[in-house]
Amino acid sequence: MEKDTKRVWHLPYCFLEPGELERKFARLAAQGWLLEKCTYGTYTYRRGEPNEYEYRVQYIYESRDGQRTDYVKTLADMGVEKVGDMGSFLVLRKRADGAPFTLYSDLDAQIMDARRLMRIKIILAVAFALLAADWFYNTWVWYDLAVSFDAMYADLRETYHQPSFLSLRLWGKHIIWYAVLGVLGTAAAVRTAMQAAHVGKTYGELKRKRLIEE
């Protein structure tokens, strides 16, 4: 018997991006899995009618957090439900009734939030890139240290029939650990850089819309 609910783990908030999340929720909603709850680390889905709900994810800057409750109440009066908070992201939904699902936020606020989110993603991408570089450097340091010790004590090692220091777990675990961290850091940097580019595209579209209105 198929379960009516399922829980899925998600990445930390720093790896999330509104447009990416909306596409994910829409894809699952089309399969009949409706997002019911989102908490730190998990999404909870309920089996329902395909495309019963539409979802939107909005970035809310922290300085506007005091207005969040009033904002959610205003949306509720218009048939929009709050699914949950994910850090600075507000997850919303409404029943699919054919009407456009637009967030009731003025254009200037959208531009400001998109710019802030883009800057955050750029900072994160740079930070992850620097961390990856440091971890790869440490990989080289430990490898060079192991090779140097192996060369220095080659005669002694052969005399006592000891294995190479490079093959010892004492050295290998440090090399592998930092190499894995370097790969993960690089992947994180690439992911957040791509998200920054996507948010930057949205920011540019909003700016052009503002220019047209003026």
Residue range 144-174, pLDDT digits in tens: 887 777 777 666 666 656 655 555 556 788 8
- Which SS3 state, helix, strand or coil, does residue 89 take? strand
Give me Rg for the CA atoms of the chain.
25
189 contacts 130 by C-beta, under 8 angstroms:
no
Residue range 75-117, pLDDT digits in tens: 888 889 999 888 788 899 999 888 888 775 678 888 888 899 9
Query: Which amino acid is residue 30, in one-letter code?
Result: A
Q: What was the pLDDT predicted at 196?
A: 93
pLDDT band at 133; cut points 50, 70, 90: very high
Residue extents of the structural domains in the chain: 5-104, 108-213
Report the C-alpha gap between 113 and 202 in whole angstroms: 11
Q: What is the mean pLDDT of residues 114-135?
A: 95
Residue range 18-65, pLDDT digits in tens: 888 999 999 999 999 999 998 878 899 999 999 999 999 988 765 555
Q: What was the pLDDT predicted at 26?
A: 93
Report the C-alpha gap between 71 and 210 in whole angstroms: 23
Q: What was the pLDDT predicted at 154?
A: 63
pLDDT band at 1; cut points 50, 70, 90: very low
pLDDT at 126 over 90: yes
User: What is the greatest pairwise CA distance in the chain?
Assistant: 84
Q: What is the pTM of this model?
A: 0.77
Query: Which amino acid is residue 212, in one-letter code?
Result: I
Q: Which residue has the higher pLDDT, 10 or 191?
A: 191
Q: What is the mean pLDDT of residues 111-140?
A: 94
